[in-house]
Amino acid sequence: MNKIGIYGGTFDPLHLGHIGLAKDAADECDLSKLIFLPAYIQPFKVGKYVTDSVHRYNMISSILGLDDRFRVSNFELEKGEISYSYDTLCEFKKMHDAKIYFIMGDDSFIHLEEWFKGKELLKDFSFIIGNRPGIDVSETDECIDRFREKYDADITLINNKLVDVSATELRKALKTGKDVDKYLPNSVIEYINENKLYR
Ranges of each domain in the chain: 3-164
- The CATH number of 3-164, from 3.40.50.2300, 3.30.300.160, 3.40.50.300, 3.40.50.620, is 3.40.50.620
- Whether 80 shows a pLDDT value over 90: the answer reads no
CA–CA gap between residue 13 and residue 167 (Å, rounded) = 6
Instruction: Decide: 30 and 65 in contact? Cβ < 8 Å.
Output: no
- pLDDT score of 51: 93
**DSSP characters for 40-90?**
SB-GGGTTS----HHHHHHHHHTTGGG-TTEEE--HHHHHTSB--HHHHHH
pLDDT at position 44 is 57
Task: Note the pLDDT tens digit of each residue in 25-72.
Answer: 999 999 999 999 999 876 655 556 889 999 999 999 999 999 999 999
Kindly indicate the confidence band of residue 81, based on its pLDDT and cuts at 50, 70 and 90.
Answer: confident
Read off the pTM: 0.94
Q: State the pLDDT at residue 41.
A: 76
- Residue 6, pLDDT > 60, answer yes
Nearest to 34 by CA among 164, 130, 168: 130
- pLDDT of 8 over the 70 cut: yes
Q: How confident is the model at residue 76 (pLDDT cuts 50, 70, 90)?
A: very high
Residue 157: helix, strand or coil by DSSP? strand
What pLDDT, in 10s, does the model give residues 128-184? 999 998 889 999 999 999 999 999 999 999 999 988 999 999 999 999 999 999 999
Q: Give the model confidence (pLDDT) of 84-143 as tens digits.
A: 999 999 999 999 999 999 999 999 999 999 999 999 999 999 999 999 988 899 999 999
